[in-house]
Amino acid sequence: MLLIKYKIIMKKILVLITLSTFLFTFQVIQEQENDKEMKTIFGNKQNSNGGYGDIIFGYTQLDGKDAFIGGIKGGWLINHSVTLGLAGFGFINDISSSGPDGEYRTNLAGGYGGLLVEPVIAPNFPVHVTFPIIIGAGGISYYEDYWNSDNSSYPPGYYDGYLDSDAFFLFEPGMEIELNIVHFFRIAVGGSYRYTSDINLIDYNEDLLRNFNAYFTLNFGKF
């Protein structure tokens, strides 16, 4: 009888020890998760909510021709997980063709900007992914440069002139692979798709600006 009571007591003690061990282990893991430092390639540093600014260099195409796109973006980084801010970009291409009286060069140039929302996946890892989304508006202009040949009906010289322009609304989702270099500096490579309302320019299609971007980003701030 005493042996049976002893076994029952020992089983209860074992259950309590197992439960206490589980709770203690869970608490340790939770505290480690809360105190987790952001990992970088060259040293680690714990961070809180902050903000940052980006310098962006990119490539796109306008009307099937190569174009440069550059810009800036930045904002408030909330709990390392999502950014709310603003973004702005400018673009230009260079199209060449020959005319009867000389050489023509037509350029498309413009810019756009708006609200930035950028979720961040696994920000504490040295390499992680972000998904920037830009919602805004912009404008585009169509210019022509002309070089008169010596045998034209006009005096030789260089002329330029405005031909047309239009405004548009924009929605641009993207994805970036970002590297934490040090606690105040990151670099990223990524791409996005620029979707706009219809563009009304002489000589061009309405979907002129709807295309992919590829870009490289320098990112400075408190993360």
pLDDT in tens, the chain (223 residues): 544 444 454 555 555 445 544 444 444 444 444 445 555 666 555 556 788 999 999 999 988 889 999 999 999 998 888 999 999 999 998 755 444 445 667 788 999 999 999 999 988 889 999 999 999 999 999 887 766 655 555 554 555 677 889 999 999 999 999 999 988 899 999 999 999 999 998 888 899 999 999 999 999 988 7
Tokens of 74: 């930045």
Predicted pLDDT at 79: 86
Q: What is the DSSP letter of 45?
A: B
pLDDT at residue 203, as a whole number: 81
pLDDT at 202: 84
pLDDT computed for residue 24 by the predictor: 43
Q: How far apart are CA 84 and CA 172, in angstroms?
A: 15
Evaluate if pTM is beyond 0.85. Answer: no
Question: Per-residue DSSP letters for 14-38?
Answer: HHHHHHHHHHHHHHHHHHHHHTPPB
Tell me the DSSP string of 87-155: EEEEEEE-EEEEETTEEEEEEEEEEEEEEEEEEEESTTSSEEEE--EEEEEEEEEEEEEEEE-TTSSS-
Evaluated on CA atoms 203, 209, 210, 215, the torsion sign reads positive
